[in-house]
A and B are shown apart, each in its own frame.
Chain A
Amino acid sequence: MQPDFNRIKKRPVQFFVIKLLIFIAMVVVLDFAVGKILKYFYFKQQSGLQYRTTYSMETTTADILVFGASRANHHYRPDIFEEALPQYTFYNVGRDGNSIFYHYGVLKAILKRYTPKIVILDFEHVSLAKDETSYDRISSLLPYYESHPEIRSIVNLKSKYEKYKVWSKIYPFNSSILTIAIGNAELNKTRSNDIKGYVPLNKIWEKHLEYDTNTVIKNILDSNKIACYENFLKDCKERGNKVFVFVSPYYVKFKIPDFSVTKGQEIAKKYNVDFFDYTADSFFTSNRRLFADLVHLNDSGAKVYSKMVIQNIIDSKK
């Protein structure tokens, strides 16, 4: 089983080092080959979450951009915007489960290419709170680490070793192989196709209004998130974009004001940015049929809400 015992006996350390180097070379070659294949198919996708991120960062030239997580993704209808503001084109760059780290990374990549006219940031409760998951989700930006130097400082927040981990060609696509396969098979188009980045939800929420009691424990603010949020607004302002921050409606009654929202308002005020909070809007909290679940509006809710957002934008332009 073990080859050449004499050589091992005579110079075991040298033998070990040589074998280790050969093994490492095997891993490097495999990593390079598999990584390149994954990269090719990742950027070949024409639908799905990953495609939308690529499109947002590298292709869109829309005048109005909506940033945020799933609530951005499901709450801002492009047809309503384009109908009310026909002079502008629209794209929703929101992505499920992501935080201000992702939003700011995407914004940086976009601002490197062009300057959108209106930027809307959908701001969530507890979005500036400390939370490990937000750092884990920075991995959404890893495939762009090599080609987008401007996002590296954000990706490096994930861990101090991130810049070394990306030496692996596979690592940026870790756990993405199925999503890439689905994206290339275009199964997304039959599952949940998007309309200019907007993904409609068609369910209707059947349960009663909930009261949130957990807000207090989620309110230790994260300085990295605050810095990213502040830079998001600052960069937009410096480039002359009109930037608006919206807290879209919840079907939840919050017992105390959310620390993140309060901080978000305070920073927006500092940069002279309009901040609209629909958290406690009674029109929505009294109308469960506009919701798909406690935190997401359905397509009808998105239609109503989008009209309100447009009105806010028009009013503020006057």
Chain B
Amino acid sequence: MIFNSINYFFFLAITFVLYYLLADKFRWFLLLITSIVFYLIGSPIISFMVPVAIVLCTFFCGVLVEQATNPVRKKMVYLLGLFTNIGLLAFYKYINFFIQTTLESVELLKKLFGAKDATVHASLVLNILVPLGISYITFQAIGYLIEIHRGSYKAERNIGIFASYLMFFPKLFSGPIEPAQEFLPQVRQKHEFNYNQVVTGLKRILWGLFLKLVVANRLEIYTDAVFGNYTFHTGATLLVASFFFTIQIFADFAGYTDMAIGSAQIFGYKLMENFNTPFVAKSVTEFWRRWHISLSSWVNEYIYNPIVFSYRNWNKWGVVFAGMITFLILGFWHGPSWNFIFFGFLQGFILAVEFLSRKIRKRLRSKIPALLNDLLGIAFTFTYFTFSSIFFKANTLYDGFQILKRMFTIKGSIYYENPSIMIFSIIGILILLAFQIKEGYFNKNFSLFNNEKWFIRNLSYAILVIVILLIGVFDGGQFIYFKF
């Protein structure tokens, strides 16, 4: 069930009414049941067994790790829980990639050693259905186990409440990757109907819907048409499509996140923010502190910091090494293919460059006006992310390089099949960028959506609904991050 479907709004409305009709002590249980229903709609029961296994394994390992007095036993149970989660994720999401890569490596080696017939396989693909949300569920489960093992968080003793943490439907398929220590205490809190919270949540859902239907889905028409047939398009078209894709992926994922946070909020739950106006970032390092924050925080806490600590003797090269490894994993997390790994590499590479050149850049910055410095930083960050996102969008690493090559070699005009697609796309982008700039720089100034006057505030949201009805794309596809 996707968030921008009518089915979801029916589901949400029914759950909302039932939730506040029930006594407070049963509300978390209702959310657990509805989350299971949410998962099972559109997902075969066999796929559901995977999150069930993750919940059971993580819950019992968490309790046993906490109870264990023998350090060896504690470590063993901890590793069992960790490797079960990593194993399930690796098997369901990456097994075909590993098989193909191994076989291709064998072929390559045979060729290198001069074998006459180097072919060792035709095509071996295991027909496995990747369970929805597996990347998000396992990352939260792993984070939970690490915190228990570190002793910084107490293991949850109620399996139902623990299951409602991993399975909570607003964040089930695409996050945010919520730390247990932030979420679990909320389950035990009293959740009375709170007018302000419900209204803020509903407004957040509406804004998310706007981002998805008006901006992301509209841009998707253009980017899919161009990248899907990139061999027919000129460099200028590919360049425009690349910039559009950067905005599209932001609008798509930020739209999803707004809907997830808003949905949680109407039930009295607070999920962590995933974005903080990333397009006003003045460096790629800053960008990653503003983009997909829940994932960057997770990898920072559980991958980057431990590596930096382990390699502290390497001094600055330890930081560079940790950054590179972290971003390679982050790239690979997005999908089992080389283009995602390369996307991660590009992020790690530029972060290393920014880290190593920070003193020189600071000296240079002092010589140019602050505004110009900011603008140059923003432009560079946006452009760099746009170019690296080509590998995010491309089906293969080869396609990514071909798109880049064509971008700089094939001359010709910009493709637009239908002027209204281009015009509506630009309108959507301008609204989005205006909002980003306002949020980033003029947040305390006049606001329509947070106006003091009730009528103006609500009229602004009513107009937002009208804009969605007027230019939203209702036949658009799935959220991009659902596949991760």
A binding-site residues for B, Cβ under 8 Å? 1-3, 8, 12-13, 15-16, 19, 22-23, 26-27, 30-31, 34, 132, 135-136, 139, 161, 164-165, 168, 170-171, 173-175, 177-179
Contacts and interface: CB of A to CB of B under 8 A. Distances in A.
Interface in B188-231: 193-196, 198-199
A139 B450 CA distance: 35
Nearest to B464: A27
21 contacts: A1-B452, A12-B193, A16-B195, A16-B198, A23-B461, A23-B462, A26-B459, A30-B462, A30-B463, A30-B466, A132-B475, A135-B475, A164-B6, A170-B470, A171-B469, A174-B471, A175-B424, A175-B470, A175-B473, A178-B420, A179-B420
Contacts of B461: 23
Contacts of B475: 132, 135-136, 139
A170 to B, nearest CB: 4
Q: Name A's interface SS.
A: helix
A27 B462 contact: yes
Interface string B453-484: 01000110111011001111111000000000
B469 A31 contact: yes
B114 interface: no
A14 B323 CA distance: 53
A156 B462 CA distance: 27
Given A175-B473, A178-B419, 18 more contacts: A16-B193, A16-B195, A19-B458, A23-B458, A27-B465, A30-B465, A30-B466, A31-B465, A132-B475, A136-B475, A139-B475, A161-B6, A170-B466, A171-B469, A174-B469, A174-B470, A174-B474, A178-B424
Nearest to B457: A1
Interface of B: 6, 20, 193-196, 198-199, 419-420, 423-424, 450, 452, 454, 458-459, 461-463, 465-466, 469-475
A168 B467 CA distance: 13
A177 B470 contact: yes
Contact of A2 (B196, B462, B463, B473): B196
B462 A26 contact: yes
A135 B474 CA distance: 12
**Centre residue among A8, A136, A178 by max chain B CB count within 10 A:** A178
Contacts of A16: 193, 195, 198-199
Contact of B471 (A31, A139, A177): A177
A26 B199 CA distance: 16
B345 to A, nearest CB: 33
A178 B196 contact: no
Given A170-B469, A175-B424, A175-B473, A8 B458 contact: no
B3 to A, nearest CB: 16
A129 to B, nearest CB: 18
Nearest to A160: B6
Contacts of B198: 16
A19 B459 contact: no
Among the interface residues B194, B199, B461, B470, which one has the most CB atoms of the partner chain A within 10 A?
B470
Contacts of B424: 175, 178
Contacts of A171: 469
Contacts of A19: 199, 458
B450 A8 contact: no
A239 B441 CA distance: 68
B465 A1 contact: no
A3 B465 contact: no
Contacts of B194: 12
A150 B471 CA distance: 27
B195 A15 contact: yes
A171 B213 CA distance: 13
Contact of B466 (A1, A23, A27, A135): A27
Contacts of A8: 195-196
Contacts of B473: 175
A55 to B, nearest CB: 21
B415 to A, nearest CB: 14
B420 A1 contact: no
10 pairs of A and B residues whose beta carbons are closest in the complex: A136-B475, A170-B469, A26-B462, A178-B420, A12-B195, A8-B195, A161-B6, A27-B462, A27-B465, A30-B466
A165 B475 CA distance: 13
A177 B467 CA distance: 11
Contacts of A139: 475
Nearest to B419: A178
A177 B470 CA distance: 7
Nearest to A9: B195
Nearest to A96: B418
A26 B6 CA distance: 21
A185 B420 CA distance: 15
A244 B411 CA distance: 45
A30 B472 CA distance: 16
Contacts of B199: 16, 19
B458 A22 contact: yes
B471 A1 contact: no
Nearest to B477: A132
Of B419, B465, B475, the most chain A CB neighbours within 10 A belong to: B475
Contacts of A179: 420
Most buried by B among A8, A19, A174: A174
Nearest to A13: B193
Contacts of B465: 27, 30-31
Contacts of A161: 6
B472 to A, nearest CB: 7
Contacts of B470: 34, 170, 173-175, 177
A8 to B, nearest CB: 5
A54 B470 CA distance: 20
A12 B193 CA distance: 7
A165 B420 CA distance: 22
Interface centre among A1, A165, A171 (most CB of B within 10 A): A1
A110 B474 CA distance: 29
Contacts of B452: 1
Contacts of A132: 475
Given A16-B193, A19-B199, A161-B6, A175 B462 contact: no
Contact of A178 (B195, B423, B450): B423
Contact of A26 (B20, B195, B458): B458
A117 to B, nearest CB: 35
Contacts of A23: 458, 461-462
B417 to A, nearest CB: 10
Contacts of B458: 19, 22-23, 26
A175 B195 contact: no
Contacts of A174: 469-472, 474
B419 A31 contact: no
A34 B468 CA distance: 13
Nearest to B450: A1
A114 B195 CA distance: 58
Nearest to B20: A13
Given A8-B195, A8-B196, A16-B193, A175 B420 contact: yes
A23 B472 CA distance: 20
Nearest to B454: A3
A229 to B, nearest CB: 22
